[in-house]
Structure 1
Amino acid sequence: MKLNAVAFVISGLLLSQPALSHDSVTSAPSQPSPVQQQETQQQLLPSVSDTFAWLRDDSRQSRQVRHFLTEQNQHADQALAQYHPIQQQLLQQWQDYAPQKAEKPWKIDGDYRYRFETRNDERVLVRRFANESEDHAEVIFNLTQRAALSNYYSLGHWAISPDRNTIAVLEDRRGDRNYTLSLIDIKSQKATELASGLSTEIAWTTNSDALYVVTNEAHTYRPFQIVKINRHQPANPQVIWQDDNPAWLVSLYPTGDKNYALVQSNNHDTSEQYVLSLTSGELSAPLQQREKGTEYYSDILNQQLISFSNHQGEMALFRGPLGSQIEQLTPVFVPKAGTEIKNWYLFDKGIAVILGQQGSDELVVLDQNGKERFRRPMTANGTVAWLSQNGDAKSNLVRIRSMSMTTPATWSELDIETGEERRLSQDNYPNIAPEHYHSEQIRVRANGVEVPVSLAFRHDKITADSPVFLYGYGAYGTPMKPYFMPQVISLLDQGAIYAIAHVRGGGYLGSEWYQAGKGLNKPNSIKDFVATAQVMQQYMPSISAGTGANAHSALPQPREIYAIGGSAGGTLVAAAINAAPNTFSGAVLQSPFVDVINTMSDPSLPLTQQEYQEWGNPAKTKDLAVMKTYSPYDNLKPQAYPPMLVRTGLNDSQVPYWEGAKFIAKLQALSTANAPYLLTTDFNAGHQKNRKTAMAAQAMEYAFLLGLHQQKMTSSAANTTSQNQSSQDSMQPSSS
């Protein structure tokens, strides 16, 4: 099953030590020269003026804009230079924490097995026969060598031809999500480029002569068209189907039956699917005509159509013979009230289903008739686990990945027919002792709800001065799970508390939780984040956490809160800082979506029309009124803001670089605090960090916050010493 959703997931948070408050940072160099301000009327909303609209350059070639970005990079480099020792310390610590990381389990594909491995410091895709030992696996694709051909590289997808002789790869070399399709001959390793401007889906024809891919629309980069490319005549692609509705996204995915793929188009609450024969090339009529609010996501196996659909009300699993319409399918499994199907995988001997209820998940295995075979819990307090498809429905084996914020990841394998589960591997970090750390989940009562907060700390390091690193996302129904990350462990070693606020708008507590924080309800996400930050200012671990002598019964002063958010999480964090700037001592915003009204007012931008249901449409009076209450860029005003570091990628097509640039320019102009407001733009990256520089960039983000906190603690200690000295002087007898 596949849902085509746009969401951004942050790959990690890290250390932070002591820092200066908003108005006490004096060590940063002065801001760049005053930014040119121009009154520009926004076209669709004439009443809205945008002083820094000139920073938008769709061509990415404007000398004026590039000069601004370069100047900001230079200013940031100067300001961040003082934190280089901390950055290098972090990088060394991460290297010391280098794991004996278990390789991902083999992908099963008939008689073959595939997986990525690290060999001689290179990331490679290897292949072996099922009956061969792992030592016999041969390298069929060298990811490291391909990445070395360009400044930026991201592998979007790969697929082996049915005749096993060729690997098709989709690669992004700019960071703009426009992928290029290349075929690599496995024997000779010769690469042939076939097409560009594509999305991330591939489906081979059964005779290995052609491929089906999804074309991105020019300018908006919306995946909108299914194309068949004959490998021998790539210059003449055949358009199979396209969706001209600018609010809909087209995708393609193979089914459990290798003779078919499903063509899908969907927006946020409606979908439409077609069955594509990979043998004949025939495309069926829609399984059900699109109808607002009706969603269905299907799979095919053994000439049976299985669909996850809400056509009868709530989302449930249905089945019927291939060729059936969705409305003709009969129920297989209907979850009980209060529970939701979060994911499912179809196998020859049954269906593996993940059921969610109020943040807790359990695995339910059904036979093909929907009868329950067994169930078992997937999560406990502070842990997370999820299913991973192995690539072959005939195997009847599903993989389970599990971890907590303080426990390294484990791979296990479950036979859905017998119920037998066996551990495959676990990541091993020789220099990390999990027993030194504690993870838990608390609830923050605010605004009429209880917001789950996942957090972790080290027993013997937490003190009354320990800072809190608070991460948030809160959009698209995406549950930000408490993953294990060695960078976070490094943070805990510094005595910090790391917390994830599962605010409304995310999917941690299910669809109702998501609906309560999207569109007109977006302000709820921001209120939840502010409330969580304020509660975490006073957080003290319970006695049961075993913190020993370092635990304090009361805090002499509130904890320092350092916020981090990326993409839609940048909206959350920046809006929260606008609402309560004194609550936060610093922030890092990664590719932040902060210019909400202007972006959502321009349908020519990538994703805008597909995002109306998530953020609202400013052309509607009610939607605009709500946006005006929280849009971070529009709500900047003269007040004391905490220090901020904003990172953008020049080629970002999801959240254009100018959002962060405009935000920083306006912040520098309006803030009344003497604090650093820094912008760094990677000219060779997009929405995601450039993998070649990502580690150093992440280390600097945390070095920035760590440095702020160190300065804060130093300043506080100096003030205390001064006050004590003043008190002692006042107690001395005066001379007569």
Structure 2
Amino acid sequence: MNTHSRHLQTNVFPPVAKKQPQILELNGDRRIDNYFWMRDPENPEVIAYLEAENAYTDAMMEHTIDLQNELYKEMLARIKETDLSVPYRKDNYYYYSRTEEGKAYPIYCRKKVSLEAEEEILLDQNQLANGYEFCDLGVLVISPNHQIMAYSIDHTGAERYTLFFLDLKSKKLYPDTIDNTYFSLVWANDNKTVFYTQIDEANRPFNLFRHTLGGNVAEDELIYHEPDDAYHLYVDKSRSQAYIFLTIAGSITSEVQYLKADYAFCKFEVIAPRKTGVLYNVEHHSDYFYIVTNEEATNFKLMRTSVARIFKENWKTIIPHRPDVRLSGVSAFINHLVIYEREGGLPGARVQNLTTGAESHITFPEPTYEFEEGSNPEFNTNILRFNYTSLVTPPSVFDYDMNTNQRELKKETEVLGGYDRTQYQSEWLMTSAADRIKVPISIVYRKGIKKDGKNPLFMLGYGSYGYSYPVTFAPDILSLLDRGVVFAIAHVRGGEEMGRHWYESGKFLHKKNTFSDFITCAEYLISRGWTDSEHLAISGGSAGGLLMGAVMNMRPDLFKVVVARVPFVDVLTTILDTSLPLSVMEWEEWGNPNDKAYYEYIKSYSPYDNVEEKDYPYILITAGLNDSRVKYWEPAKLTAKLRNMKTDNNTLLLKTNMGAGHSGASNRYESLKELAFEYAFVFDHLGVLKKD
């Protein structure tokens, strides 16, 4: 049954957004935007339009309610609702979080000296969420003496956090309350001084303040102000607890300043002044700073300098640049240095004994996987905790003895319902792009499927900001695999899977490589019998939503279903508006649209600007009313323009979360329902209804 006949049967018709042409001019170019009026959230017509779209979406998806409920129940049934994270030790305390059945948020706890000791609840997020539709925890940082907890909460999804301080002995809040803070906070070693970042009207962390506990917040000292809209601030502390670092970062340039954590009221000093195009970060060990930098080293190199002689002429190369290995970072412990790398598209690490110089390698046997450092707050330890997962291996926590090179599995996330990983197979595939560049694809499927070109396939992609798409296990994917759906991730240029050059060849005036790579991956999977265009669904969020918009404009015939989550689709108009969050910073990703060459190039692929009168796939678009990263009007405008111009009868839905932001629901149960809705839409239009 096609969408048109369903309209007639149910008497449900899509909302019609009024056209209110507005002329936009720049660089001698004149564009008419019929839906520019949607940018005003105070306009009742805007809210009415979003609510009408939501009502239409509900009506059009009503026939899938049973499927949505089935998917939600089976996804929830795989999750151990009452569960415990692996405790990590910091001084004399073990810290962990746990969840309880029926409760939507974590409970943060600790025990003193022993895991058999009495539990102390530090923060129950369920209580903080009571009465609110949304509740997100920003920071949770314990003072060095373990007596005070700083934490921040956002109740809207707009990523503006209010900071609180709790006395852990009396369980009473300090009167100090600080609004409009962001994700970073550091305690000085005096247990009474904190450094925190505050955001401007565009949600950019641009000010660093120093606050003394119990003092008047209005009198907090401004330590650093960053006037350049292309940079944001982040503050953290070395594992050694000796230094506080202030990082001033843009997309392609950074600067780090440092302060001894014992001297909270001294001045931050610059390690190396910012230099356009040079990124670096700093780790501390003993008398040295270790510096990972891309200066004259595309894939980054490791350097070291004495803390007493920080000028660049004193820097010594420890690991030189390697064209085939991306140096991702270093992590210092009392006797060891952990060196994180990515080679051949896959992450790994080397552990170097700082006394003997001996090295060991942390490797994994699966063809595609994800690996990252876990919670390691202790400096004086020989144990490295890391997290590992793959498309068939649930999230796992390991402790690795850096002296013996032995690893111990501390926990593998339990998947309820009798999950048997031997029934599934993952692979790392390679295809050739038009310029003969090899593009990797991670894929997983239930064993026994036939490559007859008829399998439903669900492919994800992102390809921006140097973000390497994580190859992780998620219990919900089993709802795909057990229905015969093949699941794939296209590791397209614009990410950093294959090194820094992989990112640089997918940005600026090379951005279209991201889109053509994704199309190439789809064509490859079809040519090898994994699926066909009638059974291919694709999905991406944020900049991955831009990818979705671009490829469905370029090759609408290639895809049956498109899911664009909070998609960044009105690229040109958005990054021209410097009053919006991130806009100026985006110039270092897409190019400065005030330059005519960049303007014309961005205009040539911006999804909203390239909607045409032609047939499109079945499309689901999502938005968050309080989204500070991709404003709700981008997906709303794209939906309205598509409704007006597309020539097919395929379903087009816009679903706006009216009480959340960029990441959707914060409640774990509501988040599963959002996912069940998305899968139901995909299954409905691919004809996937029953488990195998």
Q: 1:611 aligns with which of 582, 586, 605?
A: 586
Q: In structure 2, do the counterparts of structure 1 residues 419 and 335 end up closer, same or farther at CA, with 3 Å as the change threshold?
A: farther
Question: Shift of the alpha carbon at 1:382?
Answer: 2.4
SS at match of 2:76: helix
1:254 and 1:270 mapped to 2: Cα distance?
A: 21
Which structure 2 residues correspond to residues 177-576 of structure 1 after superposition, within 5 A? 177-192=159-174, 194-217=177-200, 219-233=201-215, 234-280=217-263, 281-311=265-295, 313=297, 315-327=300-312, 328-368=314-354, 371-378=357-364, 380-430=366-416, 431-447=418-434, 448-460=436-448, 464=452, 465-540=454-529, 558-576=533-551
Which AA in structure 2 matches 1:163?
Answer: N
Q: Which moved more, 1:625-634 or 1:141-150?
A: 141-150
Alignment partner, residue 140 of structure 1: 122
Which AA in structure 2 matches 1:476?
Answer: Y
1:683 and 1:100 mapped to 2: Cα distance?
A: 27
Q: 1:679 aligns with which of 654, 662, 673?
A: 654
Question: Shift of the alpha carbon at 1:594?
Answer: 0.3
Task: Give a deviation string over 1:338-361, Cα, whole Å, max 9, x none.
Answer: 112123211111211122222133
Question: Shift of the alpha carbon at 1:652?
Answer: 0.7
Alignment partner, residue 69 of structure 1: 50
Alignment partner, residue 14 of structure 2: 32
1:611 and 1:28 mapped to 2: Cα distance?
A: 44
**Residue 75 of structure 2 contacts residue 672 of structure 2 at CA under 8 Å; is this kept in 1?**
no
**Residue 212 of structure 1 contacts residue 226 of structure 1 at CA under 8 Å; is this kept in 2?**
yes
**Residue 566 of structure 1 contacts residue 592 of structure 1 at CA under 8 Å; is this kept in 2?**
yes
1:593 and 1:398 mapped to 2: Cα distance?
A: 38
1:369 and 1:680 mapped to 2: Cα distance?
A: 58
**Residue 592 of structure 2 contacts residue 599 of structure 2 at CA under 8 Å; is this kept in 1?**
yes
Q: In structure 2, do the counterparts of structure 1 residues 426 and 624 end up closer, same or farther at CA, with 3 Å as the change threshold?
A: same
Question: Shift of the alpha carbon at 1:102?
Answer: 6.8
SS at match of 1:287: strand
Q: In structure 2, do the counterparts of structure 1 residues 44 and 276 end up closer, same or farther at CA, with 3 Å as the change threshold?
A: farther
Alignment partner, residue 651 of structure 1: 626
Alignment partner, residue 85 of structure 1: 66
1:655 and 1:52 mapped to 2: Cα distance?
A: 16
1:53 aligns with 2:36: yes
Larger Rg: 1
Q: In structure 2, do the counterparts of structure 1 residues 251 and 74 end up closer, same or farther at CA, with 3 Å as the change threshold?
A: same
SS at match of 1:395: coil
Question: Shift of the alpha carbon at 1:368?
Answer: 3.0
Q: In structure 2, do the counterparts of structure 1 residues 169 and 149 end up closer, same or farther at CA, with 3 Å as the change threshold?
A: farther
Alignment partner, residue 125 of structure 1: 108
Q: 1:164 aligns with which of 139, 146, 161?
A: 146
SS at match of 2:197: strand
Q: RMSD between aligned alpha carbons?
A: 2.3
Which AA in structure 1 matches 2:489?
Answer: I
Question: Shift of the alpha carbon at 1:701?
Answer: 0.8
Question: Shift of the alpha carbon at 1:304?
Answer: 2.3
**Residue 378 of structure 1 contacts residue 386 of structure 1 at CA under 8 Å; is this kept in 2?**
no
Question: Shift of the alpha carbon at 1:128?
Answer: 1.7
2:495 and 2:88 mapped to 1: Cα distance?
A: 30
**Residue 586 of structure 1 contacts residue 642 of structure 1 at CA under 8 Å; is this kept in 2?**
yes
SS at match of 1:163: coil
**Residue 31 of structure 1 contacts residue 676 of structure 1 at CA under 8 Å; is this kept in 2?**
no
Q: In structure 2, do the counterparts of structure 1 residues 313 and 441 end up closer, same or farther at CA, with 3 Å as the change threshold?
A: closer
Q: In structure 2, do the counterparts of structure 1 residues 180 and 100 end up closer, same or farther at CA, with 3 Å as the change threshold?
A: closer
Alignment partner, residue 546 of structure 1: none
SS at match of 2:373: strand
Q: 2:561 aligns with which of 586, 589, 592?
A: 586
Provide structure 1 residue ranges, at least 5 long, that are not aligned to the other structure.
1-19, 542-554, 714-736
1:708 aligns with 2:680: no
Question: Shift of the alpha carbon at 1:28?
Answer: 7.6
Q: In structure 2, do the counterparts of structure 1 residues 564 and 524 end up closer, same or farther at CA, with 3 Å as the change threshold?
A: same
Task: Give a deviation string over 1:641-682, Cα, whole Å, max 9, x none.
Answer: 111111111111110000000000000100101122111111
Which AA in structure 2 matches 1:707?
Answer: D
2:610 and 2:631 mapped to 1: Cα distance?
A: 19
SS at match of 1:235: helix
SS at match of 2:537: strand
Q: In structure 2, do the counterparts of structure 1 residues 591 and 205 end up closer, same or farther at CA, with 3 Å as the change threshold?
A: same
Q: Percent identity?
A: 26
Which AA in structure 2 matches 1:681?
Answer: T
Q: In structure 2, do the counterparts of structure 1 residues 563 and 101 end up closer, same or farther at CA, with 3 Å as the change threshold?
A: farther
SS at match of 1:418: coil
Aligned pair count? 676
Alignment partner, residue 639 of structure 2: 664
Q: Which moved more, 1:22-31 or 1:375-384?
A: 22-31
2:549 and 2:479 mapped to 1: Cα distance?
A: 26
Which AA in structure 2 matches 1:147?
Answer: A
**Residue 346 of structure 2 contacts residue 368 of structure 2 at CA under 8 Å; is this kept in 1?**
no
2:127 and 2:682 mapped to 1: Cα distance?
A: 35
2:583 and 2:503 mapped to 1: Cα distance?
A: 20
2:152 and 2:650 mapped to 1: Cα distance?
A: 43
Provide structure 2 residue ranges, at least 5 long, that are not aligned to the other structure.
none
**Residue 102 of structure 1 contacts residue 425 of structure 1 at CA under 8 Å; is this kept in 2?**
no
Q: Which moved more, 1:323-332 or 1:270-279?
A: 323-332
Question: Shift of the alpha carbon at 1:120?
Answer: 6.0
**Residue 651 of structure 1 contacts residue 686 of structure 1 at CA under 8 Å; is this kept in 2?**
yes
Which AA in structure 1 matches 2:152?
Answer: L
2:214 and 2:81 mapped to 1: Cα distance?
A: 44
**Residue 378 of structure 1 contacts residue 384 of structure 1 at CA under 8 Å; is this kept in 2?**
no
1:360 and 1:590 mapped to 2: Cα distance?
A: 26
Q: In structure 2, do the counterparts of structure 1 residues 610 and 598 end up closer, same or farther at CA, with 3 Å as the change threshold?
A: same
1:463 and 1:28 mapped to 2: Cα distance?
A: 38
Alignment partner, residue 94 of structure 1: 75
TM-score by length of 1: 0.88
Alignment partner, residue 547 of structure 1: none
Question: Shift of the alpha carbon at 1:221?
Answer: 1.0
Q: 2:23 aligns with which of 15, 18, 41?
A: 41
2:60 and 2:352 mapped to 1: Cα distance?
A: 58
2:173 and 2:496 mapped to 1: Cα distance?
A: 41
